[in-house]
Structure 1
């Protein structure tokens, strides 16, 4: 069994400013080589040496230039619902990071029923399948293959989750997201910084979105948006907020459903999460006025083994907590494990709110593609 000390060792890694500076300083001499390799790769696709495939439907890519969380998955969720509301039949395609399914095409959901759990599908695909009824979710390393399967299943729009660097599929809308707290980090290419590619790669984008904008970071986000408009004048920029929507919990049948907020009023809450930006989740809970008696950040994509759950519950009991609360993504991973959890477990459902001009422009781009056919 893991001790609390072992649990402590599984906390979110790589988010401390001092440790980031240290590792990026070590990697800085190699950054030009990595950046050059990414530029060569881009040119090979641009000149047709590496093949990019066109699909018989509009392709929407939601990605980022930086490593770590920028809210790609919630944005995919928002766009899928927006498309559904306007009569489209979207499908979501993901690499399935962290999932154990090894097929060329892995069907997480056919839009009617869930077919793969989080361990096989990966955290984000399972989360999207759970929260997007009517939307097929598929994974595969070569994403044109699950995308083609989705079209055979009746989809008329393809959404690529984390697709900016996946150049094998030609995209019609190419969105790049920046987290409003982190922006471009130190603006250096990995391993000397957070950038997956040199900044010049942003010219492939058709739109920029600054996500997680709030009152604390709005001014800084606005200045960064102006910088993007100055350097990439032809590419529109929009802001998006990420706000709490409702509390959820696991139903007896294993599904996740909304629940009344009074289940947490004045109760001692122990929070935990396994996401890229855990402090953002903690601040969100604090803004909701929850009475937090403890908070435990895990590494992104954390798998909750029985030993980890026991250690987590032990820490919550030591803090004299009455309930546990986590992100909806983490709750999805735990939905089949409720019998192992000895205190009430809630999840916080978030929703994306974009500027109206962004939604209108996005829908117009999809309709324009169809009009050209």
Structure 2
């Protein structure tokens, strides 16, 4: 049974499976609370190699919209006159095992991971630090960009590094709020209180109209007929957004596992040649590395967001970052 079916289906089979896994979920939650208690009691100490660190986090497995929000925050902070470095795990690339500052210019998804390659493609002049060793990543940022805001894409569950401001994405009324394996939550939902703000809440994330463009950036009208290919944690959201923009379903719509490298030799054989194929920006940076794209037409559906109310959020974020920086400087 696929995880999405196990966690979200109302079928008798899924309900029975969840019931059987619930004791394991309770043990998982207990284990997480024990780990968290070690930091709360001072047995373990979070390190602070850089300040400020702005964390964009979530509680569930799979896509929750962190990357579009990270892009928005990076652009907003630059508009506010702040230097920005984006930090991400680089899942799927060799640099994910430690941490490294990415070089300038386009990044290979095979070497750096699909999300860093996407961030660099969409924000080519924003520095990136990549790797799961977030303390080391923060140290690298402190050495090379000491005055920057480190915007950490994901990392709410990474306790060894201190976050100064945390924005947490979480649905207000989830259908299944159980921890793994009976539910999608990576830690108990009551830990939302660790975040400075939970979205939606006082602030909310609003989606901009879906932009469909060619690889060179030229915006085009939604095609009448098209195929769709995506490798996402929550593919249905993307598919529904594209179908809403085009007002018709894709034929075919191919869904692959999140972070799939899209390098299978037979992949393109599943796609028609007489109509464009719509993909995400995260998937395009992997597909562009293939040598067999040929004359196929590719379109990228770019999902952008903003935080509303915009003026109040900007004022809140500015004050929060200044307050955290001043507090740390005097401690």
What is aligned with 1:98?
92
3-state SS of paired residue (2:242):
helix
In the aligned structure 2, how far is the partner of 1:342 from the partner of 1:334?
A: 13
Report the TM-score, using the length of structure 1 for normalisation: 0.79
In the aligned structure 1, how far is the partner of 2:165 from the partner of 2:179?
A: 24
Deviations 1:219-238 (A, max 9, x none): xxxxxx5xxxxxxxxxxx32
Deviations 1:236-281 (A, max 9, x none): x32112233522333xxxxxx321314x443x20011111111111
In the aligned structure 2, how far is the partner of 1:22 from the partner of 1:126?
A: 41
Candidates 154, 159, 162, aligned match of 1:167: 159
In the aligned structure 2, how far is the partner of 1:118 from the partner of 1:179?
A: 30
Note if contact 1:13-1:299 (Cα within 8 Å) is conserved in structure 2: no
What runs of 5+ residues in structure 2 fail to find an aligned partner? none
In the aligned structure 2, how far is the partner of 1:179 from the partner of 1:200?
A: 13
Please say if 1:121 is aligned against 2:119.
Answer: no
3-state SS of paired residue (1:261):
coil
In the aligned structure 1, how far is the partner of 2:96 from the partner of 2:252?
A: 38
Please say if 1:149 is aligned against 2:140.
Answer: yes
What do you get for the CA RMSD once the two structures are aligned?
2.3
What is aligned with 1:209?
199
Please say if 1:259 is aligned against 2:253.
Answer: no
Deviations 1:178-210 (A, max 9, x none): 247xx5341112112121111232221110013
Candidates 186, 209, 213, aligned match of 1:196: 186
Matches within 5 A, 1:260-275: 260-262=219-221, 264-266=222-224, 268-275=225-232
In the aligned structure 2, how far is the partner of 1:290 from the partner of 1:259?
A: 21
In the aligned structure 2, how far is the partner of 1:190 from the partner of 1:328?
A: 29
Candidates 11, 14, 26, aligned match of 2:3: 14
Please say if 1:359 is aligned against 2:295.
Answer: no
Note if contact 2:47-2:161 (Cα within 8 Å) is conserved in structure 1: yes
Structure 1 residue 168: deviation in Å?
Answer: 0.6
What is aligned with 1:137?
128
Note if contact 1:248-1:328 (Cα within 8 Å) is conserved in structure 2: no
What runs of 5+ residues in structure 1 fail to find an aligned partner? 1-11, 211-224, 226-236, 251-256
Please say if 1:285 is aligned against 2:236.
Answer: no
What is aligned with 2:35?
41
Change (3 A) 1:258 1:245: farther
Report the TM-score, using the length of structure 2 for normalisation: 0.88
What is aligned with 2:284?
331
